[in-house]
Amino acid sequence: MVKRILIVDDEERYCDVVRQILSSRGYETETAAAPADALRMLHERPFEMVVSDIRMKGKDGIQMMREALEEFPELDFIIMTGYASEYSYTDIVEAGAGDFIIKPFSARELEAKIGRIERERRMQGSLIETNRYLLREISLNMAIAELAKAMVLPVSMDELSALVVKHARQLTDSGIAYVDYISLEKKCLISPDLRGNQWDDPDPSIREAVLERLCRLWNRVSEDRKPVMTNLRRDENELRFRFLITPVTAEDVLLGILALGTSRRDYDEKDLVFAGRLASLYGIAIQRRSADERLNHTLRQLLGAFEETVDALSSAFEIRDPYTAGHQKRVADLASRIATEMGCPGEVVDAVRLAGLVHDIGKIAIPAEILTKITLLKDVEMSLIRQHPTAGYDILKGVKFPWPVAQAVLQHHERMDGTGYPRGLSGKDILLEARILAVADVAEAMSSGRPYRDAVGTDGAIEELYRNRNTLYDPDVTDACLKILVEQGFKP
Ligand SMILES: [Fe+2]
């Protein structure tokens, strides 16, 4: 709205007439007799409009308008002239005037021109406001889309927190932003690494003062679980304290905090809504993270109990067969080292370790005297022994392992060229876990010996692996195993 109007004319008579017209219509007015005075007054006090003559002593009204608009682009100008033929409408409007009026003019004419400029101003204002609103909405939606995308990807909480901080700062024009989240495992707030939160205030004491207030409000929000928005005016140190702190909650449980401060403008209700929406999304991420933490914790416990059970089973079984006592444990150890060396995912490492611990469990179906026989085995005895992968599979197939343990046990005597047993599978038809187990089994067995043959030691095992790297054993698995045995000097 136009409230204050500056009238510029070197003819006192005109100044008075215009002043009377405008004052009677409720405008606050001041007058200037020369362009230089007008420019000075514009610097000293706020005006929304200038009604100015063109021809004046010193500077011309159009030149004054150009200079004024450079510094105050929001100002509206109405140019008055008694010399209509010397200045065209286009020249005046192109120079930046909202309108022009030819002397002499009636009060109604001037009022109508001001009214039109005011209407334009209102329309422009609401357009700018709508544009600003739409831009902020678009920015918020883009931020939410980016966060939602990050939440379904395997990004860390630190990365997600940094994203929330980045968007919260941008959306609210804040200078500083922090987030904290509560770890269920640690039961405390965790400040993630918030890179990009540089706050370069030259004066450390100002920084101290702002952070001190931020901490105080932070604690209040943690207790009340209600957002706080402050736009405090300057204090005795000429500091302006603007803060917006939002709790991150779910069902009234505090999950974290989002804090913003030192905005370049006052925080408004829209900022509160934006921060609230980001906090909600962040809350979902924290909840998901907590659920993952709980699940992983339970899984680790289950896996631990499961491994203990498998270990006990393995030890109990080996009492029957002292020659292979410890064989399964050593195979499990070597197999998981090979899988790690190959860069296999954690599931494969876990699968080969567990499968290794029970890979010969099928031998329970073989009479103990055959297993412990120290003379060479007869064909019939050998064929009985060859049934142990299938027997092991039959024992394990009913157990709901999260990995293909039973299948790996079934295939651990298969060979890459199809000469293995029980099914004569070849190449990649054999499970990766079984190919790893096969190499670990051979390397361990040759190093440790069997009732029916002496140990050939690690050197013999290395030779066997080199010799059959491309025929019996998977070359990648063999290379990883050789690296462990030769370069790392590991003794199975
Ligand atoms: Fe075996």
pLDDT in tens, 100-115: 888 888 889 999 999 9
Instruction: For residues 250-268, give the mean pLDDT.
Output: 83
Contact in structure between 422 and 385 (CB atoms under 8 Å): no
Domain contains 298? no
Mean pLDDT rounded to a whole number for the chain: 84
Domain contains 308? no
Confidence category of residue 196, pLDDT binned at 50, 70, 90: very low
Domain contains 271? yes
Residue 379 and residue 472 in one domain? yes
Task: Say how many Å lie between the CA of residue 351 and the centre of ligand 1.
Answer: 16
Task: Say how many Å lie between the CA of residue 403 and the centre of ligand 1.
Answer: 19
Residue 116 and residue 179 in one domain? no
What is the pLDDT at residue 454? Answer: 57
Query: What is the DSSP code string of 349-385?
Result: HHHHHHHHHHTTGGGGGS-HHHHT--SPPPHHHHHHH
Q: What is the CATH number of the domain that holds 82?
A: 3.40.50.2300
**How many domains does one find in the chain?**
3
What proportion of the chain, given as a percentage, has pLDDT over 90? 33
Residue 245 and residue 208 in one domain? yes
Task: Say how many Å lie between the CA of residue 312 and the centre of ligand 1.
Answer: 18
What is the pLDDT at residue 82? Answer: 78
Confidence category of residue 170, pLDDT binned at 50, 70, 90: confident
What is the pLDDT at residue 194? Answer: 44
Domain contains 211? yes
Task: Say how many Å lie between the CA of residue 430 and the centre of ligand 1.
Answer: 15
What proportion of the chain, given as a percentage, has pLDDT over 70? 89
Residue 169 and residue 216 in one domain? yes
Domain contains 23? yes
What is the pLDDT at residue 450? Answer: 60
Return the SS3 of 57.
Answer: coil
Residue 97 and residue 214 in one domain? no
Confidence category of residue 451, pLDDT binned at 50, 70, 90: low
Residue 108 and residue 252 in one domain? no
Task: Say how many Å lie between the CA of residue 386 and the centre of ligand 1.
Answer: 8
CA separation for the pair 485, 224 (Å, rounded) = 61
Instruction: For residues 136-160, give the mean pLDDT.
Output: 84
Task: Say how many Å lie between the CA of residue 412 and the centre of ligand 1.
Answer: 7
Task: Say how many Å lie between the CA of residue 328 and the centre of ligand 1.
Answer: 9
Asked whether the predicted pLDDT for residue 118 surpasses 50, the reply is yes
Confidence category of residue 453, pLDDT binned at 50, 70, 90: low
Confidence category of residue 201, pLDDT binned at 50, 70, 90: low
Confidence category of residue 193, pLDDT binned at 50, 70, 90: very low
Task: Say how many Å lie between the CA of residue 437 and the centre of ligand 1.
Answer: 9
CA separation for the pair 92, 54 (Å, rounded) = 10
Return the SS3 of 242.
Answer: strand
What is the pLDDT at residue 371? Answer: 74
What is the pLDDT at residue 49? Answer: 94
Token reading at 139: 């920015």
Task: Say how many Å lie between the CA of residue 411 and the centre of ligand 1.
Answer: 9
Residue 67 and residue 160 in one domain? no
Residue 441 and residue 354 in one domain? yes
pLDDT in tens, 67-109: 999 999 889 999 988 776 677 778 888 889 988 888 888 889 9
Residue 330 and residue 474 in one domain? yes
CA distances 393 to 55, 316, 479, 491, Å, are 106, 18, 28, 29
Task: Say how many Å lie between the CA of residue 422 and the centre of ligand 1.
Answer: 11
Task: Say how many Å lie between the CA of residue 304 and the centre of ligand 1.
Answer: 25
Contact in structure between 57 and 15 (CB atoms under 8 Å): no
What is the pLDDT at residue 355? Answer: 92
Residue 283 and residue 333 in one domain? no
Task: Say how many Å lie between the CA of residue 359 and the centre of ligand 1.
Answer: 6
- Tell me 450's DSSP state: B
Residue 121 and residue 215 in one domain? no
More confident call, 483 vs 293: 483
Confidence category of residue 31, pLDDT binned at 50, 70, 90: very high
Residue 165 and residue 243 in one domain? yes
Q: What is the CATH number of the domain that holds 243?
A: 3.30.450.40
Instruction: For residues 153-162, give the mean pLDDT.
Output: 81
Domain contains 305? no
Helix (H) or strand (E) holding 20: helix 12-24
Task: Say how many Å lie between the CA of residue 337 and the centre of ligand 1.
Answer: 19
Asked whether the predicted pLDDT for residue 47 surpasses 90, the reply is yes
Asked whether the predicted pLDDT for residue 436 surpasses 90, the reply is yes
Task: Say how many Å lie between the CA of residue 425 and the centre of ligand 1.
Answer: 16
Which domain covers residue 284, as residue numbers? Answer: 154-293
CA separation for the pair 252, 310 (Å, rounded) = 43
Token reading at 137: 């909405």
Asked whether the predicted pLDDT for residue 38 surpasses 90, the reply is yes
Task: Say how many Å lie between the CA of residue 487 and the centre of ligand 1.
Answer: 26
Nearest to 284 by CA among 148, 442, 415, 423: 148
Task: Say how many Å lie between the CA of residue 402 and the centre of ligand 1.
Answer: 22
Task: Say how many Å lie between the CA of residue 413 and the centre of ligand 1.
Answer: 6
Least confident of 117-121, 212-216, 465-469: 212-216
Token reading at 215: 């901490």
Task: Say how many Å lie between the CA of residue 352 and the centre of ligand 1.
Answer: 14
Asked whether the predicted pLDDT for residue 455 surpasses 50, the reply is yes
Return the SS3 of 189.
Answer: strand
Helix (H) or strand (E) holding 29: strand 28-32
pLDDT in tens, 287-339: 887 777 778 788 778 777 777 777 777 777 777 776 665 888 899 999 999 99
Asked whether the predicted pLDDT for residue 209 surpasses 80, the reply is no
Contact in structure between 223 and 236 (CB atoms under 8 Å): no
Task: Say how many Å lie between the CA of residue 469 and the centre of ligand 1.
Answer: 19
Instruction: For residues 390-402, give the mean pLDDT.
Output: 86
CA separation for the pair 407, 359 (Å, rounded) = 10
Task: Say how many Å lie between the CA of residue 480 and the centre of ligand 1.
Answer: 21
Quickly tell me which residue has 């905090």 as its tokens.
257
What is the pLDDT at residue 35? Answer: 93
Name the most confidently modeled range: 137-141, 232-236, 397-401, 470-474. Answer: 470-474
What is the pLDDT at residue 325? Answer: 58
